[in-house]
Amino acid sequence: MDGCQSGVPTYEGDLHVVAAAHHIVKALGATKNLSDDLRKILIDLDSHLSMITSNIDSKGGRGLVDVEERLDQAERKIMRWETDPMMIWDSGPKEASDYLEAVDETGKLVDGLRGLSVHENRKQKEILHRAMNILQMAMSRLEEELIHILVRHGQQFEPKHMYSRSIRKDIVYDESFVSVEDEPIKETSSRNYSNDESGECIVDLVHADVIPDIKSIAKVMFTSNYGPEFCEAFISVQKEALEQYFSFLGTENLSIEDVLKMEWTCLSSKMNKWTWSMKIIVRVYLASEKQLCDQVLGGLGSVSSYCFLEISKATILCLLNFGEAVAMGPHRPEKLLRLLDMYETLACLLRDIDTLFSEEAGSFIQLHFHELLERLGESAIAAFEAFRVAISSNGSLYPFAGGGVHPLNKYVMNYIRMFPEYCNTLNLLLKNQHPGVADQVTEPDYGLDASLLTSCPMAYHLRSITSCLESNLHKKSQLYKDEALQHIFLMNNIHYLVQKVKGSELRLFFGDEWIRKHNAMFQQHAMNYERATWSSVVSFLKDDNPGSSSMSKSTFKERCKGFSVAFEEVYKTQTSWSIPDPELREDLRISTSLKVVLAYRTFLGRNLAYTDDKCVKHTVEHVENSLLDLFEGSSRSLRNSRRW
């Protein structure tokens, strides 16, 4: 390829040939469907042809002149922008493509001149030097343009539109088992979004129209080995945008120390926030960012995933750090549901994360995720255990006034009512635990009747929890001196237990057998109550000698008085007792009434002769009505009724 020393005609002929080849190359280059490889080949060919031209010309010096001319042209196009306050890409597509062409040309000239044989031509060196300077200037400018485009056409999306289901009611439980009102917690508004929602949601982080522009800048910069500058600019703008978005979501950085010291209500809402932010960041933002990187830098090898990693890792690690801090915290029972939320969130994002960070450089993020998932799982189990322990160890010094439903009962039942939602996760986590942990109350044998649900790990644990609760309630009932009140208490509480199970998804896990058995239990307590209270009272009204004539007046008086006193005593005491459930209360009253009123009526009826005596303090009606006052929760004393 050395310059031919031939005469003018051949030299001109060669020039023509080369020129023709040049034209062909240009024409081919303009074709649309060229592969990247083919394009590269054509570019190289182009440079070489330019070199041949200049080589052939070297004797006459005209080759270099040609090169210099081309460089001058390119320089003009490039330098004119240095004094222009406008941004090139704002000025229009033609300006932009002209500029890029000029830069491209300069790059080719540089490549070509460099590839020349080592003739040490001073002129060559000068031109090469000039070309490289111009190239540097252009690259610097392109960097500015890139940043301008990214910033100007960057877009932020509204997170609320992404996940629009209602946020779950923030149910807060605190340690002291303060009684929770029986709020009708809607089963449907359970989560802010289903964890089955798979699939990402891609948005345009940068307006779609400018993607080709960015891509073309990337191409030019990378071709001229200015890739690092491109990445530096691109990463810094995109990273900043992500972090702005992150703080826009309201998530803040917290140190581990802060999290460990945080009070529960505050922590609970942050955990909630975290699950929400995590999903949006991973499934929407990062997925979109990855796509942007691929669109702009695809075909440049590992650059795309490198940029993506640099853009996203700080934010992701920040989110993960919060999770770790939470997992480190004390294992309080009230944390359980939120921990399960966080666990489920991570679990369902695993696949997304594995896809986003699939290269080796990003594998440490995958590792972090998996580690955190495990730790959250352990934390959740520990919280679950703590829940059980808290129930068992919830001691009382004094009997619960009124014998109504104990706050512990309310707390526990309202809490476990929400467990079925987390059935799958809990089963997964509890599978490794010993099912049916040894308790004071043995597991009933459900045998062949157990459906799949009632025999899953969560069901076992639920039943063991209620067993703990029942044991505790039994202990608490022992604090009452009055045996009748013990039974009222147990009746109330077991009834409450059953109602909660029946009235929610828990019934599927506890099963019919359990419900039947516990129904029988509270009914038994009702009967025990009746016996304990009324047997002695009604005994005054018993007929010692059935069939014989009525008793003596003095006996009647005695009996009457006995009954009145006993009845009044019961009235005074038991009006302050409480049966919160209206149906239960009614049932018990009816049953009591049947016993007592009937006996009284019979008693009076048999001794009609004495009934106008002053000793009959209360009419049957009065007794009947008085019974209605029982279990109202506030102590009253019986007023004398008028004698008939």
Partner 1 sequence: MDTQEQELEDIELFQKHVSDRFTELSSPPEDDALLSVSWLHRLLDVFLCCEAEFEAILIMDRDPSQLSKPPFDRLIPEFIERAVKALDICNAVANGVDSVRHCQKLSEIVISALDQNPLGDGHAKRAKKALLMLLSAMNLDDKEGTHVKATERSWSFGRRGVNKEQIAGHFRSLSWQVAKNWSSAKQIQSMIYNLVAPRGAEASGLPSPIYTMNVIMIFVMWALVAAIPCQERNGLPTHFPVPKQLNWAHSLIGLQEKIADEWKKKEKKGMSGLLDELQKMEKLAQSLIDFTDSFHFPGDAEKVKGAAADVSELKEIFGRMDQGLTPLQMHIREVFHRIVRSRTEFLDVLEKGSAPVL
Number of H helices, E strands in the chain: 23, 0
Query: Which residues are at the interface with partner 1 (CB under 8 A)?
Result: 82-83, 85, 87, 125, 128-129, 132-137, 139-140, 144, 147-148, 151-152, 225, 228-229, 232, 236-237, 239-240, 243-244, 246-247, 252-258, 260, 313-315, 317-318, 321, 324, 328, 364
Q: Least Å distance between CB 261 and partner 1?
A: 9
Q: Which residues, listed in sequence order, are joined to residue 578 by a DSSP beta bridge?
A: 632
Q: Least Å distance between CB 271 and partner 1?
A: 17
Task: Compute CA distances 514 → 300, 387, 441, 444, 498, whole Å.
Answer: 65, 22, 13, 8, 9
| Long-range pairs for 65-73: beta carbons < 8 A, 24 or more residues apart | 67/109, 67/112, 67/113, 67/127, 68/127, 70/105, 70/109, 71/106, 71/109, 71/127, 71/130, 71/131, 71/134, 73/102, 73/105
**Beta-sheet strands, E only, within 253-338:** none
Burial class (CB in 10 A: 0-12, 13-18, 19+), 211: middle
One-letter amino acid at 100 equals L
Nearest CB to partner 1, comparing residues 237 and 284: 237
Nearest CB to partner 1, comparing residues 130 and 406: 130
Q: How many CB atoms lie within 10 A of CB 515?
A: 16
Q: Least Å distance between CB 511 and partner 1?
A: 34
Q: Least Å distance between CB 316 and partner 1?
A: 9
The three state secondary structure string of 531-563 is: HHHHHHHHHCCCCCCCCCCCCCHHHHHHHHHHH
Q: What are phi and psi of 85, to 5 degrees?
A: -70, -15
Q: Least Å distance between CB 233 and partner 1?
A: 8
Q: Least Å distance between CB 140 and partner 1?
A: 7
Q: Least Å distance between CB 137 and partner 1?
A: 7
Cα 597 → chain centroid:
59
Nearest CB to partner 1, comparing residues 59 and 152: 152
Nearest CB to partner 1, comparing residues 5 and 83: 83
Give the orientation angle of helix 93-115 with respect to helix 211-223, to 10 degrees.
Answer: 10
Nearest CB to partner 1, comparing residues 105 and 530: 105
Q: Least Å distance between CB 201 and partner 1?
A: 22
Calpha distance 305→307 (Å, rounded): 5
Question: What dihedral angle (degrees, nearest 10) is formed by the CA atoms of 461, 463, 465, 470?
Answer: -170
Nearest CB to partner 1, comparing residues 105 and 421: 105
Which residue, chain included where needed, has tokens 């074709």?
A: 31
Task: Compute CA distances 183 → 335, 500, 581, 612, whole Å.
Answer: 20, 12, 15, 53
Nearest CB to partner 1, comparing residues 240 and 443: 240
Nearest CB to partner 1, comparing residues 139 and 349: 139
Choose among 153, 154, 144, 155: nearest CA to 87.
144
Q: Least Å distance between CB 625 and partner 1?
A: 52
Nearest CB to partner 1, comparing residues 7 and 85: 85
Q: Are 425 and 344 in contact (CB under 8 A)?
A: yes
Q: Least Å distance between CB 360 and partner 1?
A: 11
Q: Least Å distance between CB 259 and partner 1?
A: 9
Q: Least Å distance between CB 314 and partner 1?
A: 4
Nearest CB to partner 1, comparing residues 54 and 251: 251
Nearest CB to partner 1, comparing residues 234 and 522: 234
Q: Are 417 and 500 in contact (CB under 8 A)?
A: yes
Q: Are 462 and 509 in contact (CB under 8 A)?
A: yes
Nearest CB to partner 1, comparing residues 83 and 554: 83
**Beta-sheet strands, E only, within 241-304:** none
Nearest CB to partner 1, comparing residues 387 and 577: 387
| Long-range pairs for 619-626: beta carbons < 8 A, 24 or more residues apart | 619/643, 619/644, 623/567, 623/596, 623/597, 624/593, 624/597, 626/567, 626/571
Q: Least Å distance between CB 636 and partner 1?
A: 44
